[in-house]
Amino acid sequence: WDTTEDALREYFSSFGEVSEALVMRERQTNKPRGFGFVTFRDSSAADKAVGASHTIDGRQVEAKRA
């Protein structure tokens, strides 16, 4: 899992304005844990993202509301 916050922000910005992108990391090693969070300025952008299929850095990604 090598996806960065910048990569998440860039990818999901095609659905709407991203106010925050965060990749969750292991505390001891700082390695990505394989999931993250994206916050959109407008909830309609989140609805579009949840309804679509995603491939980021060659991996299938599932978008869910949190």
Output the tens digit of pLDDT for each of the chain's 66 residues: 678 999 999 999 999 999 999 999 999 998 888 899 999 999 999 999 998 999 998 889 999 988
SS3 for 5-63 is HHHHHHHHCCCCCEEEEEEEECCCCCCEEEEEEEEECCHHHHHHHHCCCEEECCEEECC
Report the pLDDT value the prediction gives residue 1, as an integer from 0 to 100. Answer: 66
Report the pLDDT value the prediction gives residue 33, as an integer from 0 to 100. Answer: 87
